[in-house]
Amino acid sequence: MIWRERAGRGPAPRGPARAAATALAIALAASGCASSPQSDVYDPWEPFNRTVFGLNELADLMVIEPASIVYGHLPRPIRTGVRNVLNNLREPVTVMNAGLQGKGETAGTALGRFMINTLVGVGGLFDLATEFGYERRVEDFGQTLGHWGVAPGPFLMLPLLGPSTVRDTAGMGVDFLATQPLPPNLGTEGTIAVRAVDGVDMRERLTPLINDVRANSLDRYATFRSAYLQRRAAEIRDGQVTGDDAAYEEIFNEPDPASED
């Protein structure tokens, strides 16, 4: 289950820990903000999805949570640097997809961010682009398809990778294949390693919220599914949260590494 960052900061690459963190975090927030899960979701594969959801949570308890605890003992500047590097590695994906959506300003900003943070920010360790006024936004190919009217299709819970839809799963594949030749070319193994670190980083920062979810959520799968689908629709609208979507906005405010203890 992967955490989709708020619009304006954008979705992140998928990873095992990010998968567990997302499902649990959204479940709590949705159960606290809405009286019942969204009733009109398209989930024809629900028995399969619920099974995968349970296995993902088991993986979190057995592997990912312990890894996040170890990671959490690293000094805060190291963890902040890790987050900055991970964000910088996503910029080429945003450049490509913003261009495909006709968002020239967003594409130019993402390209500028990548160049500044890579060349001046020591490979992305320091987010100097934000200090210079280049606001970070993230676009992926699933958003590009949605921008041009492609329906999401059935909801799909992916093993370790977390919540998705048929459209967004196809989008992940396109993003991966299309950006492999682009700098930085990490290759398959490097990409997997980056996503694993990304997941552990997010899981560590969401630990308090995850603990609350496990203590209070009655049906984590149903509420999480509703929150994910509504948030994804809001991302395609470039963060224009309206109606029921507003109930789920706050949980997508990614924790600020600078405010960590």
Q: How far is CA 201 from CA 73, 86, 99, in A?
A: 11, 10, 29
CA distance 68 to 46: 29
More confident residue, 36 or 78: 78
Residue 195 parent element (H or E) = helix 187-205
Structure tokens at 66: 């312990």
> What SS3 string covers 65-134?
HHHHHHHHCCCHHHHHHHHHHHHHHCHHHHHHHHHHCCCHHHHHHHHHHHHHHHHCCCCCCCCHHHHCCC
Q: What is the average pLDDT across 183-211?
A: 81
What is the model's pLDDT at position 211?
Answer: 80
Please give the pLDDT value at position 206: 79
The per-residue b/e assignment along 157-193, b for 16 or more CB within 10 angstroms, e otherwise, is bbebbbbbbbbbebbbebbeeebeeeeeeeeeeebee
Residue 225's pLDDT is: 87
Residue 241 above 70 pLDDT? no
**Residue 244 DSSP one-character state:** G
Higher pLDDT, 173 or 19: 173
Q: Of 64-68, 142-146, 154-158, 183-187, which range is least confident?
A: 183-187
Of residues 114 and 207, the one with the higher pLDDT is: 114
| pLDDT recorded at residue 182 | 63
**Given a cut of 70, is residue 178 above it in pLDDT?**
yes
Residue 258, pLDDT above cutoff 90? no
**Nearby residues of 98 by Cβ (< 8 Å), 6 or more positions away:** 104, 106, 107, 110, 137, 139
Span 137-144, average pLDDT: 94
Residue 64 has pLDDT above 80, yes or no: yes
**pLDDT for the residue 240:** 54
If one compares 45 and 8, the residue with the highest pLDDT of the two is 45
> Tokens at residue 258, please?
């600078």
The pair phi, psi for residue 210, each rounded to 5°, is -65, -40
Please say if the pLDDT value at position 26 is more than 70: no
Q: For the chain, what are the domain ranges?
A: 16-255
pLDDT of 70: 95
What is the identity of the amino acid at 138?
V
Report the pLDDT averaged over residues 200-211.
Answer: 84
Mean pLDDT of the chain: 79
pLDDT recorded at residue 219? 86
Percentage, residues of the chain above pLDDT 70: 74
Q: Which of 8-17, 63-72, 90-99, 172-181 has the lowest mean pLDDT?
A: 8-17
pLDDT value of position 188:
73
pLDDT of residue 119 exceeding 50, the answer is yes
State the pLDDT at residue 183. Answer: 63
pTM: predicted TM-score of the whole model, two decimal places: 0.75
Mean per-residue pLDDT, 216-238: 84
Token pair 């995968």 in the structure block, residue: 52
